Amino acid sequence: MSQDLSLHQRRRLPTAQELAGIPWLPLLPEAERARAQAALLVGDARPGDYICRIGRPVTYWFGVVDGLLKMHTDSADGGGMTFAGLPPGGWFGEGTAVKREPYRYNVQALRSSLVAGLPIDSFHWLLDHSIAFNRFVMGQLNERLGQFIAAREIDRLGQPDLRVARSLAALFNPVLYPGVGQVLRITQQELAYLVGLSRQRVNEALSALQAQGLICVEYGGLRVLDLPALRSVGRS
């Protein structure tokens, strides 16, 4: 029966351990943190589940506690664009939530993921009452702008090695994705979905980056050895 329920219908209260994976909660004063924790819900997203869909009204501000999501658009001709991969610790859609406008992008689970949601009214209450929360959201918006500009640049890159390097560097952004650290749990097929290349071509690019000493391919994931150098690949 639970297999037939939507992600929204599968939502539940978070555990203490799950709350500990939400990076902005510790920044709030005690009273504001207690109010936010009481409103937060989590849901277990299955591969392929949509967390946000183009044209749907915003009801939550979402974050990734565990797993991997993809923010993207589609077009009628089968094309589209990937804006970002969303690994653990990443919260997204704050611009849409602030304006209470319909989504202009899709967010979809690439693997089984734990997604947290703060109801939109609670989000706006914190905006109205919490300086600490405002600072966090402003930091997110500023960093997100740079991320989307970089995504447009990546989308135009014709060299696969550069696409993989820049996309990987974006996933290791410590401001947007504090839950990642130095090791990102991701498969080559998942990275291929995010970058828009074949798994074989991604494998070749990762081998080249590893030979340069920028990353280390480990079992079940990738370790970045030199993030500044990874970000500057292909830049003269």
Q: Mean pLDDT, to the nearest integer, of 153-168? A: 79
Q: Do 35 and 107 have their domain in common?
A: yes
pLDDT, one tens digit per residue, over 106-146 is: 999 999 999 999 999 999 999 999 999 999 999 999 888 88
* Confidence band of 83 (pLDDT split at 50, 70, 90): confident
Using the predicted structure, report yes or no on whether residue 236 has a pLDDT greater than 60: no
Share above pLDDT 90 across residues of the chain, in percent, rounded to a whole number: 71
Is 39 contained in some domain?
Answer: yes
Q: Do 69 and 145 have their domain in common?
A: yes
Is 55 contained in some domain?
Answer: yes
Using the predicted structure, report yes or no on whether residue 157 has a pLDDT greater than 70: no
Is 192 contained in some domain?
Answer: yes
Q: Do 25 and 116 have their domain in common?
A: yes
User: How many Å apart are CA 89 and CA 64, to the nearest integer?
Assistant: 6
Among 2-11, 18-27, 184-193, the minimum mean pLDDT is found in 2-11
CA angle 206, 207, 208 (to 5 degrees): 90
DSSP assignment string, the chain: -GGGS-TTTT-BPPPHHHHTT-TTGGGS-HHHHHHHHHH-EEEEEPTT-EEE-TTPPP-EEEEEEES-EEEEEE-TTS-EEEEEEE-TT-EE-HHHHHHT---SSEEEESSSEEEEEEEHHHHHHHHHH-HHHHHHHHHHHHHHHHHHHHHHHHHH---HHHHHHHHHHHHT-TTT-TTTTTEE---HHHHHHHHTS-HHHHHHHHHHHHHTTSEEEETTEEEES-HHHHHTTT--
Q: Do 138 and 190 have their domain in common?
A: no
Q: Do 108 and 214 have their domain in common?
A: no
Strand order in the sheet with 113-119: 41-45, 113-119, 60-66, 91-92
Q: Do 119 and 67 have their domain in common?
A: yes
* Confidence band of 181 (pLDDT split at 50, 70, 90): confident
Could you tell me the residue range of the domain that residue 201 belongs to? Answer: 159-231
Q: Do 79 and 183 have their domain in common?
A: no
pLDDT of residue 182: 84
Q: Mean pLDDT, to the nearest integer, of 12-20? A: 96
Q: Do 202 and 89 have their domain in common?
A: no
Using the predicted structure, report yes or no on whether residue 152 has a pLDDT greater than 90: no
Using the predicted structure, report yes or no on whether residue 51 has a pLDDT greater than 80: yes
CA angle 70, 171, 120 (to 5 degrees): 55
* Confidence band of 147 (pLDDT split at 50, 70, 90): confident
pLDDT of residue 1: 44
State the chain's mean pLDDT as an integer.
Answer: 90
**Single residue among 109, 128, 153 that ends a domain in this structure:** 153
The crossing angle, in degrees rounded to 10, of helices 30-39 and 120-129 is 170
pLDDT, one tens digit per residue, over 85-105 is: 999 999 999 999 999 999 999
pLDDT of residue 135: 96
Q: Is the pTM of this model over 0.85?
A: yes
**Single residue among 99, 125, 153 that ends a domain in this structure:** 153
Number of domains in the chain: 2
Q: Do 226 and 166 have their domain in common?
A: yes
